[in-house]
């Protein structure tokens, strides 16, 4: 087998982006996935996705509106789970138990129990479970991590990951403001939870909390002109307002296993605006540009400052992997985002993560972010919320092992995981 036959499950906004990205993977010349089916409980979304596959690939995919009939197909070997967060485990667990490999969008699951259920099912079904974490695939993030690993900064003692700014409008979808559905603090925060562990290694302890900055979210403007039809259509169904029950913001301080500290600030509401991603060591600091903007990483060492490609002279062994090089170029650690659309850049990152997933299946290897890696990123955010409940810092063992779960209790009950 050269290509993994796969079904996309969940054909909303991100499902649409996934289909665009499968085309980019195919055009890379080393495509290793065959997109053969789409599945969504909402028939209109499944049919829209099928039309997109037809438009892009010139062939009709199989269309499913329920999982059971899809899982009976022996010719589908893998699923790409792109449903809303609270449904991930409901889709992935039966698929994994049926022996289908699963790539699951971040956040892997909505609670620790949801994540653990998928990890257990992968083991039972002897199937690959991967988490779709796209931010780390951006070449500037690859370079930043290589700088940290190289020792150029000395032992890093601090990472700051801060992002503040937003509005009181519905952020992407109404479900992103509801605790039992996977609110934006988790949905967005987990990207940063993954970036921190990618740069700094494993988490040991967390202290923090989440909060709701915007208690009422109003219907957004501007979707009429959105470049993606799925986004335009989805926004037509939004209510005038949504009362938020889930956190839109999270602040946490982590002790990493290395002994370093990492600070996370995510405020997705009004009030303040600013961003920082930096790592500090005794000999210098690096400043990362954020994600999907192609700007150069800045490295400050005693008496000098290097940017982007200039840094490569200090890292002779650094190189991008084959698929990343094909999509961004060998010197892609800086790129000009204005030369292409956001969705083209986004598709490249997603294509890299699919390639990694399919290689793990084809070679019997491990995906870069497996179930455990995905669960740890979720634990970084949920752990901050649990720490606020408990009124103390928590170890990752307490969070991941389920010893502390007061915050998650009602979500687990609502989803039959209690």
Ligand X SMILES: NC(=O)c1ccc[n+]([C@@H]2O[C@H](COP(=O)([O-])OP(=O)(O)OC[C@H]3O[C@@H](n4cnc5c(N)ncnc54)[C@H](O)[C@@H]3O)[C@@H](O)[C@H]2O)c1
Point out which residues bind ligand X (CB under 6 A): 9-15, 39-42, 45, 67, 82-85, 87, 90-91, 105-106, 134, 172-173, 187, 234
Report the residue number, 119 or 256, with the smaller CB distance to ligand X: 119
CB of 18 vs ligand X, minimal distance in Å: 8
Which residues does 397 contact at the CB level (< 8 Å), separation at least 6? 403
Report the residue number, 34 or 187, with the smaller CB distance to ligand X: 187
Closest listed residue to residue 217, CA positions, set 238, 236, 231: 238
Buried b / exposed e over 230-242, threshold 16 CB at 10 Å, is bbebbbeebeeeb
Buried b / exposed e over 213-223, threshold 16 CB at 10 Å, is bbeebeeeeeb
CB of 86 vs ligand X, minimal distance in Å: 9
Report the residue number, 246 or 284, with the smaller CB distance to ligand X: 246
CB of 41 vs ligand X, minimal distance in Å: 4
Report the residue number, 66 or 202, with the smaller CB distance to ligand X: 66
Given a contact cutoff of 8 angstroms between Cβ atoms, the answer to whether 50 and 72 are in contact is: no
Residue nearest to ligand X (CB): 12
Assigned token pair, 311: 């840094």
User: Judging by beta carbons within 10 Å of its beta carbon (0-12, 13-18, 19+), is residue 273 exposed, middle or buried?
Assistant: exposed
Report the residue number, 106 or 145, with the smaller CB distance to ligand X: 106
CB of 159 vs ligand X, minimal distance in Å: 21
Report the residue number, 87 or 411, with the smaller CB distance to ligand X: 87
Buried b / exposed e over 151-181, threshold 16 CB at 10 Å, is ebbeebeebbbbbbebebbbbbbbbbbbbbb
Report the residue number, 13 or 308, with the smaller CB distance to ligand X: 13
Which residues does 68 contact at the CB level (< 8 Å), separation at least 6? none
CB of 26 vs ligand X, minimal distance in Å: 20
Report the residue number, 191 or 280, with the smaller CB distance to ligand X: 191
CB of 85 vs ligand X, minimal distance in Å: 5
CB of 45 vs ligand X, minimal distance in Å: 4
- The CA-based diameter of the chain, rounded to the nearest angstrom, is 64
CB of 72 vs ligand X, minimal distance in Å: 15
| 3-class SS shares of the chain: helix, strand, coil, % to 5 | 45, 20, 35
Report the residue number, 79 or 320, with the smaller CB distance to ligand X: 79
CB of 391 vs ligand X, minimal distance in Å: 29
State how far the Cα of 27 lies from the Cα of 138, in Å rounded to an integer. 19
State how far the Cα of 251 lies from the Cα of 211, in Å rounded to an integer. 9
State how far the Cα of 380 lies from the Cα of 362, in Å rounded to an integer. 31
**Phi, psi at residue 253, to the nearest 5°?**
-120, 130
Report the residue number, 280 or 292, with the smaller CB distance to ligand X: 292
**Phi, psi at residue 305, to the nearest 5°?**
-130, 125
State how far the Cα of 410 lies from the Cα of 415, in Å rounded to an integer. 9
Bridge partners for 159 per DSSP: 262, 279
CB of 16 vs ligand X, minimal distance in Å: 8
């Amino acid at each position: 087998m050269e290509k993994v036959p796969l079904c996309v499950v969940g054909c909303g906004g991100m499902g649409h982006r996934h289909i665009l990205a499968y085309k980019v993977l195919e055009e890379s010349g080393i495509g290793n996935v065959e997109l053969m089916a789409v599945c969504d409980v909402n028939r209109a979304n499944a049919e829209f996705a099928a039309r997109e596959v037809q438009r892009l690939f010139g062939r009709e995919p199989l269309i499913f509106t329920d999982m059971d009939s899809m899982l009976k197909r022996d010719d589908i070997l893998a699923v790409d789970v792109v449903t809303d967060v609270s449904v991930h485990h409901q889709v992935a667990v039966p698929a994994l138990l049926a022996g289908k490999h699963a790539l699951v969008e971040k956040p892997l699951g909505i609670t620790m129990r949801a994540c653990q259920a998928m990890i257990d099912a992968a083991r039972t079904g002897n199937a690959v479970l991967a988490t779709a974490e796209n931010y780390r695939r951006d070449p500037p993030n690859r370079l930043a991590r290589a700088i940290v690993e190289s020792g150029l900064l000395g032992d890093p003692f601090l990472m700051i990951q801060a992002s503040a700014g937003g509005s009181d409008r519905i952020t992407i979808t109404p479900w992103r403001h509801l605790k039992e559905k996977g609110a934006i603090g988790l949905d967005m925060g987990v990207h940063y939870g993954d970036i921190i562990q990618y740069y700094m290694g494993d988490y040991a302890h967390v202290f923090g909390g989440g909060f709701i900055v915007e208690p009422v979210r109003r219907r957004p403007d501007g979707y009429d002109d959105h470049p993606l039809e799925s986004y335009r259509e989805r926004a037509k169904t939004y209510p005038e307002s949504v009362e938020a029950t889930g956190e839109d913001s999270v602040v946490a301080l982590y002790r990493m296993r290395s002994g370093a500290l990492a600070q996370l600030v995510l405020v997705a509401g009004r009030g303040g605006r600013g961003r920082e991603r930096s790592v500090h060591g005794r000999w210098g600091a690096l400043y990362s540009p954020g994600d999907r903007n192609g700007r150069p990483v800045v490295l400050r060492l005693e008496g000098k400052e290097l940017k982007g490609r200039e840094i490569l002279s200090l890292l002779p062994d650094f190189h991008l992997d084959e698929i990343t090089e094909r999509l961004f170029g060998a010197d892609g650690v800086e790129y000009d985002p204005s030369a292409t659309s956001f969705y083209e850049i986004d598709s490249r990152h997603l294509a890299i993560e699919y390639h990694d997933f399919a290689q793990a299946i084809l070679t019997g290897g491990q995906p870069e972010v497996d179930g455990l890696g995905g669960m740890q990123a979720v634990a970084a955010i949920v752990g901050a919320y649990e720490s606020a409940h408990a009124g103390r810092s928590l170890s990752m063992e307490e969070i991941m092992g389920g010893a502390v779960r007061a915050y998650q209790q009602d979500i687990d009950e609502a989803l039959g995981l209690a």
